[in-house]
Structure 1
Amino acid sequence: MPEGDTVWRTAHRLDQALAGREVVESDLRWPEISTADLTGRTTLEVVSRGKHVLHRLEGGLTLHSHLRMEGQWRIEATPGFPARWRRNPQLRALVAAADWTALGLRLGMLDLVPTAREHELVGHLGPDVLGPDWDLARAVDNVLASGMPIGQALLDQRNLAGVGTMWCAETLFLERIPPWTPADELGRDTVERIVARAHRLIDNGRRHAVQSSTGSLRNGETHYVHARSGRPCRRCGTTVRVAMIGEPTKERTMFYCPGCQGGLGPTDDGRRQVPMGSDRGAARSRWSY
């Protein structure tokens, strides 16, 4: 699932392409709103809220979308717009101005609501890591009060909005914190340091097309542990591993280094994990992405 910095960049590109421009064509391929027509309305702004995109339009309407695992918004020049996009079975939304057209592909959520009721869709979210409402102290309070392991608490968007599995794993590795440690056992100073680190990483991530926690933008060198299970830790050489974190039916993958982060996690069975993408028959890891 895209992280908060990716969603922020998506909203920023949509805003640059559409803000202040009149909608000349719209096509919303979502059952509840398929008959809605945005034509003639001017886009006021497009902003992100955590992992949500809010496209605000003249007349008090908001087109809300969530990318989920595979969604994306694509921008194409309206003049000479290829007809093939209209036939694309993955197209969920089309919003066109005279010069640019926005295409929502494989979207996980799409709603059209009065702007005054946006809170019904995003009001449950905690402080937005990249938003004007960012409040470090409140985010720390939420994490401490959650009663969750620190990795799970960082991923819970009700505590703070915008952290996904990648930035969660990279943050906890850099801070040498075991992801399954109860947040309230870490103490306020440590949790504040963790949350502040996540904020810095994501804030830096929104400025670059390539997300990197290592400082390198070269392919294969951008992360310390995320998606590196079965490979040696860049810090200590121990094999990086992946295990699940979270409550049943809501589990998420957590990459970590047992050498740097306190040993095997409680959900890790210790079986050999080969590098992602390896194909060694019976030796292949049971983890799939």
Structure 2
Amino acid sequence: MPEGDTIHQAAVNLRKVLQSQRVTEVQSRAGLMDGDTIAGRIVNEIEARGKHLLMHVDDGRVLHSHMGMTGSWHMYPAPTLTQAKRQWQKSESQAAVTLQTCGWNVVCFSPKVIRLVHEEDLHHDPWLSRLGPDLLKGSVDDFTYLRRIRSQNRVAIGQAMMNQTVISGIGNVYKSEVLFLESIHPLTRVSQLSDAQLLSIKNAATQLLQRNLQNAPRKTRFRSDGVRHWVYGRSGELCLKCGDQIEILRQGDLARSTYFCPGCQPRFK
């Protein structure tokens, strides 16, 4: 599941093969976007903003993508698209956009969003203009963070952490794991938490995101037994700390999955 660390790492990898390179050929799924408009253009910059990836080209436009739950960018060394397709790790039906350069084929598979926008429109773009501070872009000011998270005082912390206008980059995995590590029940309202607790949540999330800025499988638990997560994806299994059974609940309008241990994360009374 792509979260902030995944997108930042994708940006690093894409820079290696696309930045300062000319896009020689573009193919896009019918009706998705006018992909041919960036053929012949040079990629000036690639950046991550939370869970969004922005590819700036030299004519002032930006290829914006959001991976949703299952999307991903892949890179294949190949002089032609036909040769590259033999290496693809996903089916051609999942390919939304392919970019060809001299020697590389770059494919965006199954994105939630992929589109071209003008750079001057980014500051009022409905997807991007309201994003909160990115935990992986330097130090996030404590005052700014507290002001934003306190705007969600009536909301459960498990929902507030997923609100990308508050802080960007956290998804279901980090939400579940950080709340477990902080011993906070996901249904606890933000107003029931102290500033110190809220800052500890931010710091723990930042540390885990930074620690996972690599290509290895994401880990939030660092032990030699091979279990990578404390609670995420482990509903019905026993807690590795207290032995209680891990549970799952659905939060928010989108019914996002939150995993927790009722023993380690008692409900606030």
For 2:120 and 2:99, locate their aligned partners in 1 and report how far apart those are by CA, in whole Å. 21
Which SS does the other structure have where 2:38 is aligned?
Answer: coil
Given that 1:210 and 1:217 are in contact with CA atoms closer than 8 Å, whether structure 2 keeps it comes out as no
What is the DSSP-based 3-state SS (H/G/I as helix, E as strand, rest coil) of the residue aligned with 1:89? helix
Structure 1-normalised TM-score?
0.84
Alignment partner, residue 188 of structure 1 = 195
1:208 positional shift: 4.7
Aligned partner letter, 2:195: R
- The letter of the residue matching 1:156 is N
Match in the other structure for 1:156: 163
Aligned to 1:125: 131
Equivalent residue of 2:10, what SS? helix
For structure 1, list consecutive stretches of 5 or more residues without a partner in the other structure.
266-289
Distance 1:127 1:235 in 2: 32
Residue of structure 2 equivalent to 1:38: 38
Counterpart code for 1:7: I
- Residues in 2 aligned to 1:170 and 1:136: alpha-carbon distance in whole angstroms: 21
Choose the corresponding residue for 1:82, options 81, 84, 97: 84
Shift of 1:28: 2.7
SS at match of 1:27: strand
Which residue is 2:266 aligned to?
262
Matches within 5 A, 1:1-289: 1-29=1-29, 31=31, 33-34=33-34, 36-79=36-79, 81-83=83-85, 88-119=92-123, 120=125, 121-132=127-138, 134-146=140-152, 147-216=154-223, 219=226, 221-246=227-252, 249-263=253-267
Counterpart of 2:73, as a letter, is W
The structural deviation recorded for 1:79 is 2.1
Residue by residue, what CA displacement relative to the aligned partner does 1:126-174 show, whole Å, maximum 9, x if unpaired?
0011125733432222112213111111111110000001101110100
Query: What percent identity do the matched residue pairs reach?
Result: 30
- Counterpart-to-counterpart distance in 1, 2:230 and 2:91: 41
Partners of 2:62 and 2:118 in 1: CA distance: 6
SS for the counterpart of 1:41 is coil
**Against the structure 1 CA distance between its residues 144 and 192, is the aligned structure 2 distance closer, same or farther, given a 3 Å change threshold?**
same
**Structure with the greater relative contact order (CA < 8 A, sep ≥ 6): 1 or 2?**
2
Q: Secondary structure at the match of 1:170?
A: helix
Deviation at 1:30, TM superposition (A): 5.6
CA contact (8 A) 2:159 2:251 kept: yes
Question: Per-residue CA shift, 1:23-46, capped at 9, x if unaligned?
Answer: 111123262523642122111121
Residue 107 of structure 1 aligns to a residue in which SS? coil
Query: Corresponding residue for 1:275?
Result: none
| Distance of 2:77 and 2:31 partners within structure 1 | 27
Partners of 2:35 and 2:70 lie apart in 1 by: 25
Q: Could you tell me how far apart the structure 2 residues matched to 1:67 and 1:95 are? A: 17
Is the 1:27–1:37 contact (alpha carbons within 8 Å) kept by the matching residues of 2?
Answer: no
Q: What amino acid is aligned across from residue 33 of structure 1 in structure 2?
A: M
Give me the TM-score of the superposition, normalised by structure 2: 0.90
Mapped partners of 2:225, 2:131: distance in 1: 34
Query: RMSD across aligned C-alpha pairs, in angstroms?
Result: 2.2
How many aligned residue pairs are there?
Answer: 262
SS at 1:37 equivalent:
helix
* Higher mean C-alpha displacement, 133-142 vs 166-175: 133-142
Residues in 2 aligned to 1:117 and 1:144: alpha-carbon distance in whole angstroms: 29
Q: Give the SS at the match of 1:76.
A: strand
Q: 1:241 touches 1:256 (CA, 8 Å); kept in 2?
A: yes
SS at match of 1:162: coil
C-alpha distance in structure 1 between counterparts of 2:103 and 2:8, whole Å: 22
